[in-house]
Amino acid sequence: MNKTIKKFSGDIEGAKFNTAVSSLMELLNFFRKEGKDILNVISTETTGISKDDLEKIIRLVSPFAPHICEELWNKLGNKKSIFGEKWPEYDKNLIKDEVVKIAIQVNGKLRDTMETKADITEEEARSLAISQKKIENWIAGKEIKKVIFVQNKLINFVINE
């Protein structure tokens, strides 16, 4: 929820409406995988989603569908208009990924990926990447001239061919 609020809010501010809606669809798919049906907004018991989360989602959708959101807002027992409510805020501590996927490149070409803990150091990423079977084949017997490391994104080995 927190990641969606952050992405959605940023997309709205940047007038990226398609990606804002896309982030809501990703959230919907997440809830469906959890066995929760957000489309059945009769009550929080039938959706399996907390009232607080439903209210946040309705507030996010309200700029795109104001009339239906106002109806849903009232259906959840709120007496005042949704448009008098504050925009949902996200918790910065809850949007950090614990596990990230890092691209492993050799001479700028993607050769493999690895999942690792977030905020891994360059040294840890280097040793982990070199130990990958696919990467061993690409760098075996070759001198690594340079290593380019982008935190939580990629590691690139520049080698002599």
State mean pLDDT over 93-114: 90
pLDDT > 90: what percent of the chain?
A: 42
Contact call for residues 26 and 56 (beta carbons, < 8 A): no
Tokens 């700028």 appear where?
A: 108
103 vs 111: CA distance, rounded Å: 8
The model carries a pTM of 0.57
Torsions phi, psi of 3, nearest 5? -65, -40
Quote the pLDDT of residue 131. 92
Please report the pLDDT score of residue 38 as a whole number: 65
CA distance 161 to 158: 9
Q: What is the predicted pLDDT for the residue at 135?
A: 92
Task: Please determine, for residue 154, whether its predicted confidence score (pLDDT) is greater than 90.
Answer: yes
Cα→Cα distances 135→3, 15, 47, 101, 128, Å: 33, 41, 46, 16, 10
Could you read off the pLDDT of 22-75 as tens digits, one per residue? 998 888 888 888 777 666 555 545 567 788 888 998 999 898 899 989 998 998
Domains of the chain with bracketed CATH: 2-94 (1.10.730.10), 99-159 (3.10.20.590)
Question: How far apart are alpha carbons 137 and 123 in whole angstroms?
Answer: 20
Q: How high does pLDDT run on average in the chain?
A: 87
